[in-house]
């Protein structure tokens, strides 16, 4: 796969779904870029606090509630990913509509279920 998976709302806490998604994505051979609210340079992959604008992103996996998405949604749209996965609790009709208007596929699903079910 050429593009990378951007996990937004990344955590280094094992009980968090974003942590589990990062580890499962890596186990399936995906290159993951993790963006969270606190930097964790020693985590694998390092968690950064800024959305990288110079990466070719295939998929964005959202783990941020809709209220916290507003500050970054334009940055995510500018990345022009192939798709955005709105994980449970992150569904955002307005953001999804904006993404679709920009040619981005949107999916309301669970990254963990998609990977485990073989349809990621």
pLDDT higher than 70, residue 1: no
At 3, is the pLDDT very low, low, confident or very high (cuts 50, 70, 90)? confident
**What class is the 4-117 domain?**
alpha beta
- How much is the pTM? 0.96
pLDDT digits (tens, 9 = 90+) for 56-90: 999 999 999 999 999 999 999 999 999 999 999 99
Residue-averaged pLDDT of the chain: 96
Say if residues 35 and 23 touch (Cβ distance below 8 Å): no
DSSP of 27-73: HTT--EEEE-SS-BTTSSSPEESS--SSS-EEEEEE-S-HHHHTTTH
């Amino acid at each position: 796969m050429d593009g990378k998976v951007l996990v937004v709302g990344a955590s280094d806490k094992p009980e968090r779904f974003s942590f589990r998604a990062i580890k499962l994505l890596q186990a399936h051979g995906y290159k993951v870029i993790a963006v969270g609210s606190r930097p964790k340079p020693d985590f694998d992959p390092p968690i950064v606090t800024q959305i990288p604008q110079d990466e070719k992103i295939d998929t964005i996996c959202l783990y941020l509630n809709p209220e916290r998405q507003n500050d970054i949604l334009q940055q995510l749209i500018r990345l022009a990913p192939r798709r955005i996965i709105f994980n449970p609790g992150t569904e955002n009709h307005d953001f999804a509509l904006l993404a679709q208007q920009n040619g981005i596929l949107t999916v309301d699903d669970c990254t963990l279920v998609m990977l485990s079910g073989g349809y990621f």
